[in-house]
Amino acid sequence: MADIHAEKILVLDFGSQYTQLIARRIRELHVYCEIHPCTMPFAEVRAFAAKGIVLSGGPASVEEPGAPMVDPRIFELGVPVLGVCYGLQLMAKLLGGAIDRTAHREYGPARVEVTEAVGPFRDMTVGEHLDVWMSHGDKVSAPPKGFRTIAKNPSSPFCAVAAPHRKLYAIQFHPEVAHTPRGRELYEAFLEECGVSFNFRMGAFAEEASKQIRERVGKERVICALSGGVDSAVVALLLHKAIGPQLQCIFVDNGVLREGEAAQVEQTFKDRFHVPLRVVNARRRFLEALRGVTDPEQKRKIIGREFIAVFEDEVGKDRREHGDARFLAQGTLYPDVIESVSFKGPSAVIKSHHNVGGLPERMKMQLVEPLRELFKDEVRALGRELGLPEAIVSRQPFPGPGLAIRVLGEVTEERLALIRKADAIVQEEVANAGLREKLWQAFAVLLPVK
């Protein structure tokens, strides 16, 4: 099997709000890529051995003192480079072009005309017009020596330039956003220039991840906190397929779950997939701890604290029955990893799942994070590849404290029953209207009114 990570694209981040979108568009085209800060040392860039490099946009002006830069030697690596917005301006400045500040920042839709069918426009026709999304305050007034205009519009005569003999391409607009309808084609054409195989697919990922899990875990046991959400469900099933009985899942029913959720988790994992699963009914304990509490942040802290206590108790029982487990599985995703390295200044803390934050240190367990290089949509695709039911794969995001923070005011059995039924009705109506795929979230909230 070909190594799905062998051919990769490097996305250098200059602080754009769209950087993750660039990576997602590339991944959607079945090419592996990673986001790294623009401060990545040149030696590391070279060692990364990318098949191509994308320079993201960013909020700064290249004319400002202290503006984020990149080592110009990346343009001599011999691999295709695509500059996007700030990336265009930076490439032009570093290679001898001229940059002007625009009188008014251009933000919104625009039309550009293709003047040469090369690079990202290689599959387009000269004279063709594209609807695109602009967001910039600087523009190129004179391209570097050896660069040609490959697209233009009235306000930006050099809105796309290229030096094809050096494999350098740059565009003023943002092909990664939905407002550039043919942006996917532009990225696909650039990736073709990079000579990649388009082989980053979830079936191959599952095989490679399973192999890595077995190598890391060996014959040791792994504990997985199964919440019923998409991430932990995919982690659990992937681990089960990789190491079978070495896995022990623990599902804590905290009493603030959606209608039928606990039963669905047990039926899916225990009965259908035969995953080793310990189900803990802790509803009474959580409700007692929440008695009289109305502040949502306090609810969140109480539920997190109680979860850790219950989970530690269950791990203790498991240890007495089966011996120590050295590893704890966690559903860390790629956006969590990016958050710690993106170009916004150093960030010391990677966002952690509210339920397992602090557990590895307290329990002296090593983390297993098989999804840490995937975006959420890739996790869903992996879940489908593994055979998870669509009801779990397409499940909407759900807050860690569950229905407790969708009940405004004190949480009681009666109020939970109301919000649970109301939420089920909302989900049913959304599904009946054919809106499930169009809505990121839809849910009910119980207000403290009569």
The strand pairing partners of 403, in sequence order, are none
The strands making up 129-142's β-sheet, listed across from edge to edge, are 32-37, 8-13, 52-55, 81-84, 168-171, 156-163, 148-153, 98-114, 129-142
Catalytic residue ranges: 85, 174, 176
| 417 Cβ neighbours under 8 A, 6+ residues apart | none
The answer to whether the beta carbons of residues 320 and 365 sit under 8 Å apart is no
Distance, CA of 318 to CA of 118 (rounded, Å): 61
Distance, CA of 69 to CA of 91 (rounded, Å): 10
The answer to whether the beta carbons of residues 246 and 220 sit under 8 Å apart is yes
Report which secondary-structure segment, H or E, holds 295.
none
| Number of residues assigned to the chain | 450
Q: Which amino acid is at 334?
A: Y
Distance, CA of 62 to CA of 206 (rounded, Å): 42
